[in-house]
Amino acid sequence: MMFLSLQHRDPMLKKRDDFEDMLEERRNSSDLRYALRCYTPVLYKGLAPCKASMLKSMVLQSDQLHHVIGQVSRETGRAADDVQEEASAILEEMAHCLQLSTVRFFAFTLSKVFKTLFRSICVNEEGIQRLQQAIQEHPVVLLPSHRSYMDFLLMSYILYTYDIALPVIAAGMDFMGMKFVGEMLRMSGAFFIRRSFGGDKLYWSVFSEYVKTMLKNGFAPVEFFLEGTRSRTSKSLTPKLGLLNIVMDPYLKGEVYDINVVPVSISYERILEEALYAREMLGVPKPKESTSGLFKARKVLSEDYGSIHVYFGQPVSVRSLAQGRVNRCQFNLVPRHIPRRPSEEIQSFVNDSAYRLVRAQEENMVLKPWVLLASLLLQNHHQDQTAGQKRGMVLEELTAQAVWLRDMFREYGAFLHWPVVLLDICVGGQVKPGEPHSTVTPEEELLSQAVIVLSCASYRNQGLHVFLRPALLASAINAASSNLKQEVFNSFSFLRNMFSNEFILCPGATVQDFEEACYLLVKTGALQVTQQELLVTERGQRTVAFLTSMLDPFLQGYQVVCRFLCEEATENLTEKQFVPAVRKFIIKHLLAGRLRYTEVLSSDLQKNSLAALLRLGAVQKIKGRIKLSKVTYSSVFLLRTCVNLTYNC
């Protein structure tokens, strides 16, 4: 075992920029003048801007596309012209047509909307300056976190405000279904891609060439969401690699000197889609994006969504990421325009980079006091439930605990935004998650309570990344059969592996994560590390207990999925049927009082645990059906041991 020197940089020393509220100026001056002001962004190496139409013809004339068109035409026997036309149609469907007038329209309306919705939109201006610099040096890729539909409008709005080149944004095709709005978005720089186009060579080729052409020519910063879709849980999602692969390709092939990737962390005090998400995860399907839906949604305008913090992170040079990791000579022997599956070396490089970038997003997420309160309230709620009480928490107690937790967060390097006066609006004598209103059946009661718990959990989740590693260690200590380092490490490693679909855990970094966790717990005085053993100190008990119960709902979720698979899964369980079936199973057990956490109803949790079990080989997918494999039992057994040891169920 390697317990190397713990040279981690003290997370408390992390330097972060200050924020400026950009809405303040909007409240004091004319929106119209703002929307019509002179907009002259600096471009990559001072290039003259090129027209969207020119971009299209560059793509259609590219070597790569020519090659693929030829290939498709040979394979399918269709005429090359025919395929070329199809490519052209795909491009037509995909391409953006950025127009300044539309941008100005958005600048005007969004100013109005934002001012009603939000108290403030805080941006780190130093980050903006860094971005401006980065844009002049190398092509730029913007990678914002994705929690809300708001995200990309907000991004463009900010960049317009600060006179920075407007990005072109990869958006899901579902937006295009919205009449008018789709076109508006297109004119403000969105380009649309189909959600899945696995086998379609031509589509992939047009798409990748389009993105690369924009990037290489420094047409505009390319923006996309690493997480692929909006996170419904406020936890970061496992990064999707497709687009990242595409944008890194020009560097790897030497077509540009470097690419700057800028992670952007957007933290909402309250997410617009909050209630929607909870219901979606409980089985109420997501409403299809439609214009009328958008209008119906206008009632949100009357609510208060607090403030938004947008943090533009340090630009990351792809060149420095790849330094010593990728041998670029691998492209020497095949013409670069012939598309090839990335080598294993590159796949693992892109994958690692993706994780690093998502972690960079997480690190600069601003946490509001609500995150801490939600964590404490949820834990309290569960304890109450076990005790069969419904008493909530006394405000003073909550405050005291929150202060304790705040200090812990700070020591772990969290980016806290702590107002001078906490809880200026005092909420009665006791605080607890709200009570459901009129209920009919116990099941409905359960579900409507679950909506509240899941919403609450989504606040808690915002802060999970801060103590994820210590929490894994705390659980591992509880689960391990002894205090021996090796034992604890083994159980840490098992838990970490199990949860790597659930949380952002960089592949292959078990030892580093373990060391980081030890370091943090030792630093805060919760743990003593000797030659052989890891010992929880007297004053560390509280910390360890808190950390363990943070992970408990997840552990129980995974356990219940295992139990379901062992006990109830039929021979013919398809992937589609999985979520409803497991939900039914869980509801049954929750109502019978055999399960503690309503949270396990989250379909997100269920899907993640299935993915983990598939990855670990406990379950197999054969012709779309889910089958237990032979190793399952040992896996399930292990998991149960963990859970059982964590607390006596």
Partner 1 sequence: MASNSSGGGSSDRQRIAQQRLRIIAGHLQGPVDGDSAILAAECKAQGSKTDVCREGKTVPRRRQEIMKWNGWGYSDSKFLFNKKGQAEFTGKRYRLSGMIIPGLKDWMEGTFGANLQHKTPATPLLTSSAVQPATLNKAFLEELKSTGIPFSHDAEDRVFRAHGHCLHEIFALREGKFGRVPDMVVWPNCHNDVVKIVELACKHNVCVIPYGGGTSVSSALECPPEETRSIVSLDTSQMNRILWIDEKNLTAHVEAGIVGQDLERLLNESGYCTGHEPDSMEFSSLGGWVATRASGMKKNIYGNIEDLVIHIRMVTPRGVIEKSCQGPRMSTGPDIHHFIMGSEGTLGVVTEVTMKIRPMPEYQKYGSVVFPNFEQGVACLREVAKQRCAPASIRLMDNEQFKFGHALKPQVSSIFTSFLDGLKTFYITKFKGFDPNRLCVATLLFEGDREKVLQHEKQVYDIAAKFGGLAAGEDNGQRGYMLTFVIAYLRDLGMDYYVIGESFETSVPWDRVLDICRNVKARIIQECKDKGVQFPPLSTCRVTQTYDTGACVYFYFAFNYRGLSDPVHVYEQVEHAAREEILANGGSLSHHHGVGKLRKEWMRDTVSNVGVGMLKSVKDYVDPDNIFGNRNLL
The contact set with partner 1 (CB under 8 A) reads 254-255, 257-258, 327-329, 331-332, 335-336
Distance CA 649, CA 647 (A): 6
430: which 2 tokens? Answer: 């006791």
Beta carbon of residue 333, minimum distance to partner 1 (angstroms, whole number): 9
Q: Beta strands of 124-223 (E only): which ranges?
A: 140-144, 168-172, 190-193, 222-223
For residues 254 and 525, which CB has a smaller minimum distance to partner 1 in the complex?
Answer: 254
Those residues whose C-beta lies under 8 Å from the C-beta of residue 279, and which sit 6 or more positions away, are 451
For residues 93 and 258, which CB has a smaller minimum distance to partner 1 in the complex?
Answer: 258
Beta carbon of residue 332, minimum distance to partner 1 (angstroms, whole number): 4
Distance CA 522, CA 8 (A): 12
Beta carbon of residue 608, minimum distance to partner 1 (angstroms, whole number): 39
Q: Report the alpha-carbon angle 282-447-307, nearest 5.
A: 65
Q: Are 256 and 328 in contact (CB under 8 A)?
A: no
Beta carbon of residue 328, minimum distance to partner 1 (angstroms, whole number): 4
**From residue 258, how far is each of 10, 45, 46, 513 by CA, in Å?**
30, 13, 16, 30
Beta carbon of residue 254, minimum distance to partner 1 (angstroms, whole number): 4
For residues 5 and 332, which CB has a smaller minimum distance to partner 1 in the complex?
Answer: 332
For residues 257 and 637, which CB has a smaller minimum distance to partner 1 in the complex?
Answer: 257
For residues 216 and 584, which CB has a smaller minimum distance to partner 1 in the complex?
Answer: 216
For residues 50 and 611, which CB has a smaller minimum distance to partner 1 in the complex?
Answer: 50
For residues 102 and 330, which CB has a smaller minimum distance to partner 1 in the complex?
Answer: 330
Kind of pairing between the strands at 222-223 and 140-144: parallel
> Sign of dihedral through CA atoms 387, 393, 398, 400?
negative
Using alpha carbons only, how large is the chain's radius of gyration in Å? 26
For residues 66 and 625, which CB has a smaller minimum distance to partner 1 in the complex?
Answer: 66
Distance CA 377, CA 379 (A): 5
Beta carbon of residue 132, minimum distance to partner 1 (angstroms, whole number): 19
Beta carbon of residue 321, minimum distance to partner 1 (angstroms, whole number): 15
As a 3-state breakdown, the chain gives helix, strand, coil percent values, each rounded to 5, of 55, 10, 35
Beta bridge partners of 171: 192
For residues 327 and 383, which CB has a smaller minimum distance to partner 1 in the complex?
Answer: 327
Could you identify the residue written with the tokens 């980016």? 415
For residues 258 and 445, which CB has a smaller minimum distance to partner 1 in the complex?
Answer: 258
Q: Is 534 exposed, middle or buried (0-12, 13-18, 19+ CB in 10 A)?
A: buried
Question: Rounded to 5 degrees, what are φ and ψ at 503?
Answer: -120, 170
Beta carbon of residue 59, minimum distance to partner 1 (angstroms, whole number): 18
Beta carbon of residue 63, minimum distance to partner 1 (angstroms, whole number): 8
Q: Which contacts of 26-34 are long-range, i.e. CB under 8 A and separated by 24 or more positions?
A: 26/111, 26/114, 26/115, 27/115, 31/107, 31/108, 31/111, 31/112, 32/108, 34/107, 34/108, 34/111, 34/161
Name the residue among 14, 641, 607, 19 with its Cα closest to residue 308: 19
Beta carbon of residue 320, minimum distance to partner 1 (angstroms, whole number): 10
The 3-state secondary structure of 359-392 reads HHHHHCCCECHHHHHHHHHHHHHHHHHHHCCCCC
Name the residue among 230, 43, 17 with its Cα closest to residue 136: 43
For residues 336 and 627, which CB has a smaller minimum distance to partner 1 in the complex?
Answer: 336
Beta carbon of residue 137, minimum distance to partner 1 (angstroms, whole number): 10
